């Protein structure tokens, strides 16, 4: 190899470094060892060795969501790639900038069905079912340019995962072809005629409401949203993914309350709803929940998301901040003060009712978490009863993108997603979990210990899949099947893997234990006996619960 040549693996790592990548999550394999070795010889990039490729993909997803940068997962061909699929799927559902790099059989064996180890002839087609841009180079000169194009796709428009499979012989092969620089497209702005239609409709309306989703994910976009809401004097509602997109202490902040009956009634009476960065998935009034909308101005970077669940009067394909900056340039009369006061009053009253429904123990648990959730802090939760009941609603989040969860509704990814968030931020990250979902990725306790990842994992242990238990009780005459689980002693389990662990038998003890855990530099697990908590109104307690 000449002094000016680099191997395919080195080209991959140089391209990642140029894209701002500082961490890669994955597992070493015979089909990616050259890449792992190149990472080890490169200053500025660290490999975080996970215990399962699925976990690595979820970590990369969490890393991308928290940082806004590229999150990278590395796997082997065949079984390693099939393990990555769930994390890539979640990343696509959650609109995060995740790149999956996988190996592939030698080019001389590829596609010939000779039984080559880890052979996966249709791997590219499989990846294309969950990722956006997918590349499969066939000579070493294609590796850098193809990887560049995948990264450019990930970082342009609506964030979506991408993938590249690189045959093992190309990772070893020398190449002297220079890799072109990344060219990231500027954020898309609204078409002039669409902008005019939007400003005209908004200006003619007096009863205005705003709904924001995960598309308002930066401080700059949040600032532009605040200025626009104040200019038109409109209340701002958020989806769960949009929590933190508007200042908590602002009088126009209504939170995730749009689906409550009194608010839905006032929405139907409004003149216009301005929806920004949301695709109206089921949790915010999509195909499963019927809502009567006023005239809709729908702003989203992804044209497929517009007119998906509700027809828009004005469909604006645009980056959220660019659109808000453009809308701010027009003049508007102040909105209907009486309508706004009704909305503020309805939100205040329903918030009080929501808190009362939580019962004293869950309300207190929420308040305990809230003590550590200042601006810039991230909170990660899995698909679990507390997350759905008070995480999505009343838990105070004051940072755009600061509330992170499996948007697909998957059980289990919360733990590795949270580890990725903690690696990205370098600050203590709280992760809320149920006992059932935690077992999906329990091996990552060893990863947390090895790298001393600053996370506090709080397990609400009710001895089963609590969300599904509740659904079964309503649909199958109270019969529970497959939802009651034997769970380990989580404290001993964590300690056996090198993670500090604490136990709380009730919410008062949890308050003390969380304070102690937040002072520990590395990872800490807290097991909370959820069966000793007063159940949330309407939530089915575990059989044999003391609550």
Look at residue 283 in the predicted model and tell me its pLDDT: 46
Helix (H, G, I), strand (E, B) or coil at 95: coil
Q: What is the pLDDT of residue 282?
A: 57
Residue 61 backbone phi and psi in degrees, to 5: -60, -50
302-339, pLDDT tens digit by residue? 999 999 889 999 999 999 999 999 999 999 998 899 99
Six token digits for residue 514: 């969380």
99-111 tens-digit pLDDT: 999 999 888 878 7
Q: Which residues contact 142 (CB under 8 A, 6 or more apart)?
A: none
Distances 424 to 66, 96, 155, 202 between C-alpha atoms, Å: 6, 14, 17, 39
Place of tokens 């342009």: 156
Which superfamily does CATH assign the domain made up of 192-335 to? TPP-binding domain (3.40.50.1220)
Please compute, for residue 517, the number of CA atoms within 13 A of its CA located in the half-sphere on the CB side: 29
pTM: 0.94
pLDDT below 50 — which residues of the chain? 1-3, 283-288
CATH number among 3.30.1060.10, 3.20.10.10, 3.40.50.970, 2.40.30.10, domain 347-532: 3.40.50.970
At 14 the pLDDT is 95
3-state secondary structure of 254: strand
Tokens of 135: 């590349």
What is the rounded distance in angstroms from the CA atom of residue 99 to the CA atom of residue 80? Answer: 15
Q: Where are the domains of the chain?
A: 6-175, 192-335, 347-532
Domain spanning 6-175, CATH class: alpha beta
Same fold, 192-335 and 347-532: yes
Residue 134 β-bridge partners? 163
- For residues 398-409, one letter each, b for 16 or more C-beta atoms within 10 angstroms of the residue's C-beta and e for the rest, the string is bbbbbbbbbbee
Smallest CA-to-CA distance from 350 within 394, 392, 386 is with: 394
The pair of structure tokens assigned to 63 is: 């890393």
- The phi, psi pair for 209, rounded to 5°, reads -140, 150
Distance separating alpha carbons of residues 112 and 109, to the nearest angstrom = 6
Eight-class DSSP state of 524: E
């Amino acid at each position: 190899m000449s002094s000016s040549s680099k191997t395919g693996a080195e080209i991959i790592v140089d391209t990642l470094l140029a894209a701002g990548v500082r961490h890669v999550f994955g597992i070493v394999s015979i089909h990616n060892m050259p890449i792992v070795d190149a990472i080890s010889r490169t200053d500025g990039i660290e490999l975080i060795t996970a215990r399962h490729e699925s976990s690595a993909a979820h970590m990369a997803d969490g890393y991308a969501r928290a940082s806004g940068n590229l999150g990278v997962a590395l796997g082997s061909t065949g079984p390693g790639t099939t393990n990555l699929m769930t994390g890539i799927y979640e990343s696509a559902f959650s609109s995060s900038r995740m790149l999956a790099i996988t190996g592939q059989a030698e080019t001389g064996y590829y596609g010939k069905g000779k039984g080559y180890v880890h052979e996966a002839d249709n791997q590219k087609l499989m990846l294309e079912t969950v990722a956006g841009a997918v590349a499969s180079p066939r000579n070493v000169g294609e590796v850098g340019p193809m990887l560049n194009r995948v990264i450019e796709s990930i970082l342009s428009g609506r964030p979506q995962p991408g993938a590249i499979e690189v045959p093992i012989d190309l990772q070893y092969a020398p190449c002297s072809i220079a890799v072109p620089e990344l060219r990231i497209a500027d954020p898309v702005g609204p078409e002039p005629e669409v902008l005019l239609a939007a400003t005209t409709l908004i200006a003619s309306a007096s009863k205005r409401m705003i709904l924001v989703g995960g598309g308002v994910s930066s401080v700059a976009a949040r600032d532009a949203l605040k200025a626009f809401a104040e200019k038109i004097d409109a209340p701002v509602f958020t989806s769960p993914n949009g929590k933190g997109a508007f200042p908590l202490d602002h009088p126009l902040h209504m939170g995730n309350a749009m689906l409550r009956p009194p608010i839905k009634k006032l929405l139907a009476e409004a003149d216009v709803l301005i929806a920004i960065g949301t695709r109206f998935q089921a949790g915010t009034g999509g195909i499963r929940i019927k809502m009567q909308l006023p005239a809709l101005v729908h702003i989203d970077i992804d044209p497929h998301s517009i007119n998906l669940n509700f027809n828009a009067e004005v469909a604006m394909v645009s980056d959220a901040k660019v659109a808000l900056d453009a809308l701010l340039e027009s003049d508007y009369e102040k909105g209907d003060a009486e309508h706004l006061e009704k909305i503020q009053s309805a939100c205040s009253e329903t918030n009080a009712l929501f808190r009362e429904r939580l019962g004293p123990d869950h309300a207190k648990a929420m308040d305990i978490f809230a003590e550590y959730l200042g601006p810039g802090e991230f909170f990660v939760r899995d698909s679990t009863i507390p997350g759905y009941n008070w995480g999505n609603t009343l838990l105070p989040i004051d940072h755009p993108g600061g509330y992170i969860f499996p948007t697909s509704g998957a059980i289990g990814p919360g733990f590795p997603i949270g580890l990725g968030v903690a690696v990205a931020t370098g600050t203590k990250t709280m992760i809320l979990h149920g006992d059932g979902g935690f077992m999906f990725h329990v091996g990552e306790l060893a990863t947390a210990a090895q790298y001393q990842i600053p996370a506090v994992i709080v397990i609400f242990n009710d001895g089963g899949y609590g969300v599904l238990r509740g659904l079964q009780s309503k649909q199958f005459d109270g019969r529970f099947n497959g939802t009651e689980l034997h769970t380990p002693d989580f404290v001993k389990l964590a300690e056996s893997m090198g993670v500090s662990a604490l136990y709380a038998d009730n919410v008062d003890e949890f308050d003390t234990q969380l304070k102690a855990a937040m002072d520990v530099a590395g990872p800490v697990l807290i097991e909370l006996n959820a069966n000793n908590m007063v159940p949330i109104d309407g939530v089915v307690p575990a059989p044999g619960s003391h609550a």
